[in-house]
Structure 1
Amino acid sequence: MLKKKCIFNWSGGKDSTLALHYALQDPALEICYLVTTISEKYSRVSMHGVRDTLLLKQAESIGIPLYEIRLPEMPDMQTYDDTMRIHLTQFKAEGITHSIFGDIYLQDLRDYRENKLAEVGLKALFPIWKKDTKALIDEFLALGYQTIIVCAQKNLADFCGKVITTALIDQLPPGIDPCGENGEFHTFAYEGPVFRKNVHFVLGEKVYRTYAAPKSTDSSTDGVCSVTSDLGFWYMDLLD
């Protein structure tokens, strides 16, 4: 059977990990790269704030090459789109046909991704699309995965730096999605079936940072903000 050659959009967090878990079980897929957007200025994962050295450790443990796309800090949509088009065109030339995402239910984001991929002749796959987010986090934990919250919105300061457990999810304030699908929090996965060995790290400093978000009419994408008010997040630095 001729396999579909794919890139996998990798953030290093729990949703990416579970989507990868599903994708690796599909015999029709060949995953060629884990693709991550990195802040050029800080050498960290866009939005999540995780050091690229830890992403490399994840990729080595998984056994799939990491492909870094470096972006300026808080790029506008045009810069983001132009940069991504260059790399997607290169993937297409290598025989890549599909791009896999860990999105769950943000339809406008899915539409954006599919439209941009179609412009260069690629298709999108969403292994965990429309699955119940509470069921997903329960499955993630039941499979033996471990993940830590590395970025959280202002009102979730006490959760930043905590390892996710069923009890912790039950303590989330009302209105917070169990998977943080609305951007409430982001995570770093370090143990579980897709990892051949655990990804070692130590806790660093927890800091609060604010960002002036540029106005955009497009949906929010990795490393790109589409709201007009300032954004504030807590970050737990992970050291390798």
Structure 2
Amino acid sequence: MKQPDVAPTRVLLSWSSGKDSAWALHRLRQDPGIEVVGLFTTLNQAFERVAMHGVRKQLLTEQAECVGLPLHCIDLPWPCSNEEYGRVMSDFIAGVVASGVRHMAFGDLFLEDVRAYRERQLAGTGISPLFPLWGSDTAQLAREMMAAGLRARISCLDPRKLPATLGGHEFDDALLAALPAGVDPCGEKGEFHTLALDGPMFLRPLAIRVGESVLRDDFLFTDLLPAAPDGGVVCPPA
């Protein structure tokens, strides 16, 4: 007797706009038992940019179209207290549960405190967290991403850990060779953040141009901009 088909697990993916989120999407899509039904991102409401990554909302929405998924933007006030953040996220999670989704995925790699925070945040909500990249060897993971065609640019870096000249740099072999000793190859300890542009999880590349870099709140943010109206293409490697 033929067994009844089992519906895939519907998953909402935390989307920072960076390479790790993009690779988490790729991993999840390789599992036939999982259906990624959307992305969610927290934004600084005052500046309309992705928290920490500094990516413009316009690029974020274009990027979601490029990977073929609906995007849920969570606007956070600036400044934002822990209490306000908790309230906003609780309301969002309640809406996710009401929609019938029971799993959220995150692209975390090895930071135990970050994972524990997410698990605490979701405890008792009806949502179970998934960590498809957890425990990855980040040096190996970076090479795996590049070999598969994932392309990204640095949107934010910590100048106390990386040379400011790497702002806007392509995530490539040259970048890995330029990283100072002790810097994680995937930037998992906050050394740098990226905007993903292309890869096996994209339906089409995200076309951008690299703008100016500015120092703000001890971090260097490189303004990544939509491609020029005359039809600019994805930036070539640095």
Name 1:162's counterpart in structure 2.
169
| Superposition CA RMSD, Å | 1.0
Deviation at 1:14, TM superposition (A): 0.7
The gaps in structure 2 that reach 5 residues or longer are 1-5, 227-238
Structure 1 position 88 matched with structure 2 position 96: no
Structure 1 position 37 matched with structure 2 position 42: yes
Name 1:62's counterpart in structure 2.
67
Which of 192, 205, 218 is 1:198 aligned to? 205
How far apart are the structure 2 equivalents of 1:70 and 1:28?
31
Deviation at 1:81, TM superposition (A): 1.2
Alpha carbons of structure 1 residues 15 and 74: separation in structure 2 relative to 1, 3 Å: farther
Deviation at 1:119, TM superposition (A): 2.8
Structure label with greater radius of gyration: 2
Per-residue CA deviations over 1:63-89 (Å, capped at 9, x if unaligned) read 110110000124222211111010000
How far apart are the structure 2 equivalents of 1:171 and 1:74?
35
The gaps in structure 1 that reach 5 residues or longer are 211-231
Q: What's the TM-score once normalised by structure 2's chain length? A: 0.90
Structure 1 position 28 matched with structure 2 position 33: yes
Per-residue CA deviations over 1:87-132 (Å, capped at 9, x if unaligned) read 0000001101000000000111111101211231110000100110
* Aligned AA (1:22): R
Structure 1 position 237 matched with structure 2 position 223: yes
Q: Which fold has the larger relative contact order, with Cα–Cα distance below 8 Å and residues 6 or more apart in sequence? A: 1
Q: State the 4+ residue runs in structure 1 displaced beyond 6 angstroms.
A: none
Identity %: 42
Single out whichever of 191-200 and 70-79 deviates more from structure 2. Answer: 70-79
Which of 108, 115, 118 is 2:120 aligned to? 115
Q: What's the TM-score once normalised by structure 1's chain length? A: 0.89
Per-residue CA deviations over 1:27-49 (Å, capped at 9, x if unaligned) read 11121211000110011000100
Which of 3, 6, 11 is 2:16 aligned to? 11
